[in-house]
Structure 1
Amino acid sequence: MSVPARPDGPPSGEHVVVSLPSHSMPARLLERHASHLPALEHRALLDGLLTAHDPAARVVVVTSSEPAPEVLDHYARLARPDDPDDARRRVTCLVVPDDGPRGIAAKLLDRPDLLDRLRRQVGATPAVIEPWNVTVDEVAVAQALGVPLNGGPAELWPLGFKSASRRLFREAGVPVPVGVEDVRGLDEVAAAVRAILREAPQLERVVVKLDNSGAGEGNLVLTVRDDEGRPMPDDALVAALTRLAPATFLRDLSLGGVVEEMVTGEVVSSPSAQVEITRHGEVVVRSTHEQLLGGLDGQVFVGSRFPADAEDAAEVAGHAAAVARRLAERGAVGWLSVDVAAARGSFGRRLVAVDLNLRKGGTSHSHAALRHLAPGRYDAGAGRWRAVDGGERHYRSSDDVEVGRGVAAGRVIDALETAGLAFDPAARTGVVLHMFPSLEDRGTVGATAIGRTADEAERLFDAASATLRRA
């Protein structure tokens, strides 16, 4: 499928950004998170903060849930404290009223009337679609609108799957954990464990990953030794995985997956890097982060710190750029990220790539808040954000700050502003909220605390968390 050519660069006059937060993910993930999709989609409202430094831009956010007026007003005040009414006019939402477990692009394609409305909203104005990911659904939307995508082509989407990404890492000269690709079925998992133990005989645990998965969901940690420390026989491994894995996991494993060592050390962290590939094939490192992981086995993304630790940032950025260059040669365009496991111990320091996200991810929206409200550039060599005011900026972000189920968005906004913690456009520091639909669904809200130092960002985040718990 082809889409209209992307513009050579940012338009100098009036232009439109269509933010399309379409989560075209495996059915098992969409079904599990169906009630949470509006909150995930509303992270794209942070794209509207573009009007803070680009008053010629109009932003249209496509979503399945109408944002509350007080939320849009809040973002307008952040973007343009001098003229919030103008910012409010320049950010609109196209609501596709469908709460089913599908990406918003698929839902929009079922509504030719809404596609036509979006086409009229864009009109003859230069425009670009900013997708969350690019599959055939997002390409079909771009074709229908006649508007270019900052992403794609869709046929490259499987390169982000686990087996393909391990091969791509090796091709780019990026180290990977000991592991086996293209594993299908329980017996092949057991065979892969035997192969890994031959190379890493002291290993105690492996991670079984489904090829098509995301955010750590689709990863299962499997112990490979019995209580006496002996390698488990194949039948015991199969039995253990059968007990651990949901039926959907075992079904999807038949489509492909990987088994790789569980990276261990005295200290293990998970830095990542975001990269953008421009239309002309230029590779630009946009950020590095320390990912914060949770869940039963520490496999689920729960938040981030920006930037990554200085000792790792440049190397992580270099690995991500090397992978992006290989993807650019294949025609990839737009945003991607590479996740790394960083281990330290008596063996020294070790960095290995563990995941490729050929899309935006869990750190993209918090970075959007930074670059729109405290504009500057990321210095990949120094691992620092250099703001236009000459200072550095750091942040701490999470999508799951506890508030209380059913608390109104306006009340949460008021609580943060009353406490003096809301983002201050003059100082370009403070807390930006997002994901307000989570208040109803989970009793949580997202928050990105931006400070001039890492300590200031952490203090702001902790203070905001305490304030919102009292809201």
Structure 2
Amino acid sequence: MSARERADVAAAPSPDPSDGSPCRDHVVVSLPSHSMPARLLERHASHLPALEHRALLDGLVTAHDPSARVVVVASSEPAPDVLDHYARLARPGDPDDARRRVTCLVVPDDGPRGIAAKLLDRPDLLDRLRRQVGATPAVIEPWNVTDDELAVAQALGVPLNGGPAELWPLGFKSASRRLFRECDVAVPVGVEDVRSNDEVAVAVRTILRERPLVERVVVKLDNSGAGEGNLVLLVRDDEGRSLPDDALVAALARLSPPAFLRDLALGGVVEELVTGEVVGSPSAQVEIGRDGEVVVRSTHEQLLGGEDGQVFVGSRFPADAAHASEVATQAAAVARRLAERGAVGWLSVDFVAARGAGGRTLVAVDLNLRKGGTSHSYAALRHLAPGVYETQSGRWLADDGGERHYRSSDDVEVGRGVTAAHVIAALEAAGLAFDPVARTGVVLHMFPSLDDRGTVGATAIGRTAEEAERLFDAASAALRTA
């Protein structure tokens, strides 16, 4: 692909009529291609259909834009009940219209690869997608942009709202720490470009010279996501003395699966584990337009779980008012620097916010040059309760004049063997389904997780944070007993 061709397909404006501007007929090709490291794809192969089906929430754009058609590319067919459910959400007065304008192109391949790579192996399906788009103006909304997604865009002759692919490594941990410092955005004390157990031990010594009271560090693989690829390492013994290098090396070897140490050879970072009396994980989503304009779309409080509290499990919107504006300002500064390098489309910046006797700390810990774990829940909000995110006040002001907040999770327990139709009916019977008049209620997603994990995703939208939390808790209880 020539440099000019790459530039043509690597960027495009994202049609977003939720801001009230008129749009002509257009097609949005939602391409939830998870071009993640092989270790993550293999680990989550059975869960990929659920992750891909989060993109069905893009179809809710038809709630307020009769000019849009949406084609979601996925490796599994959504159940008719699911598509009907989203159609009723989008157009309660005319669900048949929404149903006609949202379709799914299925690439029947359950292997551990991103959907773009799978689609490239099927020229017949590429041709079908090309015919579905036809001569109508179109844009591809990718989850991320690597060479595979660019190849799909070139084959279709449709621009991407993302890329270019050569910037992808800037989202790796070592590169993002350097980028944050370029933008005067604070980072935890740490060391980049660590590639072995021995280098981890050296990095710990470097951190302890600057932060003598640190008790734990986080070892992060450069190319990782959602907190997977992070390992928390205790650097002191039971009496509070710093561990010698050989003990650190032994502890890392004991705690690390073989794949972790193998991938560490490709690069990683070691950072202090930021602590405090209160510790949060705020993030900001930013979109860079083709003209270089930077718009902060949202801030969130990420909810983390897993053994070491490093894995994304859900979110609250918006971020805490104590730091929402600062989070937005710093993320925008990073996005402007990336825009200067040619970046387009969605990105998110994750932070750690800590408060304690020593004061308040806000440091950037991750850069995602892609959509992330908060993107699909935000899509539900902006399409079903359209409005604008005010970066200074940290509020979502819906076009009915009221605020909106939400609580979201991808892992609401239901139980294996329960059908999507049953879950949808249970939510409606409990009176918790999204109300298009009040523009509050619960939106479900990730239905393939019912078979894979016995869970479903849910985003509870309320006029206050308390209402959103009550709706979420009530929905969780109703679905557990469905």
Same fold (TM over 0.5): yes
Aligned counterparts of 1:3 and 1:320: Cα–Cα separation in 2: 24
| 1:357 pairs with one of 368, 391, 397 | 368
Identify the residue that residue 411 of structure 1 maps to in structure 2: 422
Identify the residue that residue 278 of structure 1 maps to in structure 2: 289
Amino acid at match of 2:138: A
| 1:231 pairs with one of 238, 242, 248 | 242
Identify the residue that residue 8 of structure 2 maps to in structure 1: 4
Deviations 1:238-297 (A, max 9, x none): 000000000000000000000000000011000000000001000100000000000111
How far the C-alpha of 1:327 sits from its partner, in A, is: 0.3
Identify the residue that residue 431 of structure 1 maps to in structure 2: 442
Identify the residue that residue 318 of structure 2 maps to in structure 1: 307
Identify the residue that residue 405 of structure 2 maps to in structure 1: 394
| 2:170 pairs with one of 156, 159, 164 | 159
User: After superposition, where does 1:250-269 map in structure 2 within 5 Å?
Assistant: 250-269=261-280
How far the C-alpha of 1:12 sits from its partner, in A, is: 2.8
Identify the residue that residue 229 of structure 2 maps to in structure 1: 218
The reply on whether 1:468 has 2:472 as its aligned counterpart is no
Structure-1-length-normalised TM-score: 0.99
How far the C-alpha of 1:138 sits from its partner, in A, is: 0.2
Identify the residue that residue 140 of structure 1 maps to in structure 2: 151
**Equivalent residues of 1:3, 1:146 under 8 A apart:** no
Deviations 1:192-239 (A, max 9, x none): 000000000011000000000000000000000111211111110000
How far the C-alpha of 1:326 sits from its partner, in A, is: 0.5
**Equivalent residues of 1:3, 1:148 under 8 A apart:** no
RMSD: 0.9
User: After superposition, where does 1:11-410 map in structure 2 within 5 Å?
Assistant: 12-410=23-421
Amino acid at match of 1:331: G
Instruction: Rate the CA distance shift 1:7–1:315 in 2: closer, same or farther, 3 A.
Output: closer
Instruction: Rate the CA distance shift 1:412–1:327 in 2: closer, same or farther, 3 A.
Output: same
How far the C-alpha of 1:348 sits from its partner, in A, is: 1.0
Identify the residue that residue 452 of structure 1 maps to in structure 2: 463
**Equivalent residues of 2:12, 2:161 under 8 A apart:** no
Aligned counterparts of 2:27 and 2:7: Cα–Cα separation in 1: 17
**Equivalent residues of 2:14, 2:139 under 8 A apart:** no
Instruction: Rate the CA distance shift 1:417–1:135 in 2: closer, same or farther, 3 A.
Output: same
How far the C-alpha of 1:14 sits from its partner, in A, is: 1.2
The answer for unaligned runs of 5 or more in structure 1 is none
Aligned residues between the structures: 471
Instruction: Give the share of equivalent positions with the same residue, in percent.
Output: 85
Amino acid at match of 2:382: R
Amino acid at match of 1:438: S
SS of 2:476's equivalent in the other structure is: helix
Aligned counterparts of 2:328 and 2:307: Cα–Cα separation in 1: 29
Aligned counterparts of 1:318 and 1:96: Cα–Cα separation in 2: 40
Deviations 1:322-365 (A, max 9, x none): 10011000000000000000000001111000000110000000
Aligned counterparts of 1:8 and 1:380: Cα–Cα separation in 2: 21
**Equivalent residues of 1:404, 1:443 under 8 A apart:** yes
How far the C-alpha of 1:7 sits from its partner, in A, is: 5.2
Aligned counterparts of 2:285 and 2:134: Cα–Cα separation in 1: 32
